């Protein structure tokens, strides 16, 4: 089983004053490498300061998106190399909110992921279905297509992470049941195995549908769930650390 990853996504939240939350998390983490890996993906404005604040602790810092190009005339965008230079170790690509709000296609997500890998970052590639797609019985088709089109040719097992996002369970108060999660994660593992063979077991598959202290323990026990991509609960140190504790007890 790959090492569990507990990743927080602050989304468009966080000012310099909120680095106190990150420092609290960093201070609470034990140095033992056998414990879950912990990551906070903060707004780009905080990456450098967050990396400095987390220095010397097991806490890693990530970005939330990157451009596919290394440099150029792309006003307002940030390259993977820039995130790496600021202190990031990971970057989220293909989050459902980026796909919906910015029209990011799976092909563009693959380009972002490839750029991240080239820059020395670990991309967290997000996939998942909307409520309408689930109700229409398209879960398998949607996930299969997104995996095929979003994981770049350059990717090798261990160089990237996948996060399953049931879009209908993000910020809605709804959470996928254990059977639904097991089905989706099992499908993703099969798709990765079809592509990479036995080495696909090295790829971590995170659950990204509103994991919180109340449901973390149950979700983390589901087969092929190798951690979580956590939104709102990552904004409070106590809640995020509670999830980390649940992961440590696996």
Nearest Cα to Cα of residue 146 among 111, 105, 185, 181: 105
Nearest to 6 by CA among 176, 225, 156: 225
d(CA 194, CA 189): 9
Dihedral sign computed on CA atoms, order 107, 108, 110, 114: positive
Least Cα distance to 87 among 41, 129, 118, 144 occurs for 41
Q: Which one from 37, 111, 129, 165 is the annotated catalytic residue? A: 165
CB atoms within 10 A of CB 107: 11
Q: Tell me if residue 185 is catalytic.
A: no
Q: What tokens appear for 159 in the block?
A: 């160089």
Q: Are 148 and 192 in contact (CB under 8 A)?
A: no
Cα dihedral sign for 210, 211, 213, 219?
A: positive
Question: Does 165 participate in catalysis according to the annotation?
Answer: yes
Q: Which of 67, 90, 95, 185 is catalytic?
A: 95
Catalytic residue annotation: 95, 165
């Amino acid at each position: 089983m790959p090492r569990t990853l507990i990743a927080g996504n602050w989304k468009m939240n966080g000012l310099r004053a909120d680095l106190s939350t990150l420092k609290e998390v960093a201070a609470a983490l034990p140095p033992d490498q056998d414990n879950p890996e912990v990551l906070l993906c903060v707004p780009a404005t905080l990456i450098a300061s967050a990396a400095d604040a987390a220095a010397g602790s097991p806490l890693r810092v990530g970005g939330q998106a990157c451009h596919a190009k290394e440099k150029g005339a792309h006003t307002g965008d940030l390259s993977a190399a820039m995130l790496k230079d600021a202190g990031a170790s990971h970057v989220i690509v293909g989050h459902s909110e980026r796909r919906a709000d910015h029209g990011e296609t799976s092909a563009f997500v693959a380009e972002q992921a490839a750029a991240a890998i080239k820059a020395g970052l670990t991309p967290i590639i997000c996939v998942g279905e909307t409520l309408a797609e689930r109700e229409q019985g398209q879960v398998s088709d949607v996930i299969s297509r997104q995996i095929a089109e979003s994981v770049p040719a350059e990717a090798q097992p261990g160089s990237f992470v996948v996060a399953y996002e049931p879009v209908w369970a993000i910020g809605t108060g709804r959470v996928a049941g254990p059977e639904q999660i097991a089905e989706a994660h099992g499908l993703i593992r099969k798709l990765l195995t079809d592509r990479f063979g036995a080495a696909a077991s090295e790829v971590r598959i995170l659950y990204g549908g509103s994991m919180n202290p109340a449901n973390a323990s149950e979700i983390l026990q589901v087969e092929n769930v190798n951690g979580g991509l956590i939104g709102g609960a990552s904004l409070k140190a106590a809640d995020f650390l509670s999830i980390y504790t649940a992961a440590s007890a696996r």
